[in-house]
Each structure stands twice: as C-alpha cells, then as structure tokens.
C-alpha cells in the first residue's frame, strides 16, 4: 500500500540534522505559490564531505532506501552519496529525491543565489525561486515538466511586483 | 472550478505574507488557458497553508490509489 508523503516531517528531519539543501521541484513551486501537485520532495544538496555526513545521518533516521524496480533493499551510504548524482529514495515519510544538480547541471552553489528562505513550523527552508524552477524545467524538458510550465509561468506573471 | 472572489481578497492578512506581491485585477476564472482564480487564491495563502494544500492533495491521491488496489 502506498504511503502519502509527509512533507513537514521530512523537512523536520533534514533540519534537525542541519543538512544544507535547497528545496526544488514541485514542493518548491507550491511554496512559491503555484497550484501544482507533487507526490515527492526534491532537494539539491551540498557535496562537501561534512554535508554528506549530515545528510547520511538524516537519511538513516528517515530509513531511506533506493527506489529499486527489482525490489532490492539498497540503502544510501557514504560511497554512494559521494559518487552518485541522483538518489531516488523512499523513506518512512514518503519519496525523496536527493540531487547534486538540476536543469543544465546547476549545483547547490549555482542555485543558492536564486533562493528565498521560508519559515515553516520554526524551520528556515531555502526554496528555489519560481523563475529558476521554470528555467530548470525548461532545461529538463521532460513531458511532466512541459505539462506544468504554463501554470508556473502564469503564476510568475501574477506574482511579479510592479517595478 | 474558480474560487469565489472573496477567498483571495487583498485585505486578507494572509495576502501580506508575500512581500511585494501585487494581486492584479483579473477576473477569476480561466484566462489565456490558465486558471487565474486558482493561482491568485494560492498566492493569497501563507507558505504554511500552501504546504498544507500540497499535503492534502498528496493524501487524496494516495488514498485514491490505495482504494483502487483494495
């Protein structure tokens, strides 16, 4: 039986372990005001060794394991976090994608200047700006990205301040 | 379906959560193929409420999926 993602609980574990991350993807778009839907939580992480250690501790608490079509029980470890660029995980609180980059290879360092900080239940969460989310989806250019682009663009138009 | 106009009225305190946000004068409903009413309603919410929206949708979809499998 599928389990609904628990967004706040996942963010809470990442926050407690002081994981440096940027929230991207559908949840980021929703926090930026776009009425879209998502069933997972996507983050871009810092690749430094100390950040990987904190991330690994958080993933262990979440009981994260790789989404494996063959049904194998594969869990993240320091080696995988260092070498793999995309980690499609399932956790006790739902699916989490841990990414080293999005779009055209944009890393945490590339994206950090395009974020806003949101206060959620006492947690400060860095969220990718809607304009950057749109650029990342244009670059990814998958069917599901193209499907949501019109509503993301319209949301950006409606929220743009008058300059 | 478009939401009633008063769900995103500009004097709602929740509207003030988004610095610099300007709710332009658009008729609620579909414009240029997009549902402006729904977007404006979403923009009127606080980030916490937006996350609750996402959570509610995810809960509903998973419940439907599980119901079909049952």
pLDDT at residue number A121: 86
The H or E element that residue A120 is part of is: strand A115-120
B6's CB contacts (< 8 A; 6+ apart) are none
pLDDT at residue number B34: 59
What is the ipTM score, two decimals? Answer: 0.88
pLDDT at residue number B70: 53
CA distance A118 to chain B (A): 7
Share of chain B above pLDDT 90, in %: 34
B34: closest chain A residue by CA: A151
- Can you name the residues that pair with B49 across neighbouring β-strands? none
Which residues in chain A show pLDDT less than 50?
Answer: 162-163
B15 or A34, which is more confident? A34
Confidence band, pLDDT 50/70/90 cuts, at residue B66: confident
DSSP symbol at A48: S
Q: Is the pLDDT of residue B28 over 50?
A: no
| Interchain CB distance below 8 Å, A121 and B48 | yes
| pLDDT (tens digit per residue) in A69-92 | 898 999 999 999 999 999 999 999
Mean per-residue pLDDT of chain A: 93
| Interchain CB distance below 8 Å, B34 and A154 | yes
Of A31, A39, A151, the CB nearest to B47: A31
Q: Where are the beta strands (DSSP E) in A4-45?
A: 21-24, 41-45
B44's CB contacts (< 8 A; 6+ apart) are B7, B8, B9, B12, B14, B15, B23
| pLDDT (tens digit per residue) in B30-50 | 445 557 999 999 999 999 999
CA distance B5 to chain A (A): 16
Q: Is the pLDDT of residue B22 over 90?
A: no
DSSP symbol at A106: B
Identify all chain A residues contacting B23, using CB atoms and an 8 Å cutoff: 158
Confidence band, pLDDT 50/70/90 cuts, at residue B15: very low
Identify all chain B residues contacting A161, using CB atoms and an 8 Å cutoff: 20-22
pLDDT at residue number B9: 38
pLDDT at residue number B33: 53
pLDDT at residue number A47: 84
| Interchain CB distance below 8 Å, B66 and A150 | no
Looking at residues B46-65, what average pLDDT do you find? 92
Identify all chain B residues contacting A150, using CB atoms and an 8 Å cutoff: 33-34
């Amino acid at each position: 039986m599928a389990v609904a993602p628990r967004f706040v609980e996942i963010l809470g574990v990442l926050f407690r372990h002081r994981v440096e991350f940027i929230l991207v993807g559908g949840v980021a778009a929703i926090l930026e005001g776009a009425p879209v839907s998502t069933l997972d939580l996507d983050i871009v992480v810092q690749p430094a060794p100390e950040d990987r250690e904190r991330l690994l501790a958080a993933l262990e608490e979440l009981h994260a394991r790789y989404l494996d079509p063959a049904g194998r029980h594969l869990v993240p470890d320091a080696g995988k976090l260092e070498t793999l660029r995309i980690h499609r995980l399932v956790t006790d609180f739902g699916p989490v994608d841990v990414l080293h980059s999005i779009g055209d290879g944009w890393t945490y360092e590339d994206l950090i200047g395009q974020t806003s900080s949101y206060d959620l239940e006492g947690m400060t969460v860095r969220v990718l700006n809607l304009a950057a989310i749109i650029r990342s989806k244009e670059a990814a250019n998958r069917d599901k990205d193209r499907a949501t682009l019109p509503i993301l663009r319209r949301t950006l138009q409606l929220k743009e301040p008058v300059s | 379906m478009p939401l009633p106009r008063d769900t995103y009225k500009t004097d709602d305190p929740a509207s003030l959560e988004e610095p610099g946000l300007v709710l332009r004068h658009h008729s609620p409903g579909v414009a240029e193929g997009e549902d402006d009413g729904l977007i404006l309603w979403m923009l009127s919410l606080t980030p916490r409420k937006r996350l609750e929206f996402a959570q509610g949708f995810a809960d509903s979809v998973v419940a439907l999926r599980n119901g079909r499998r049952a």
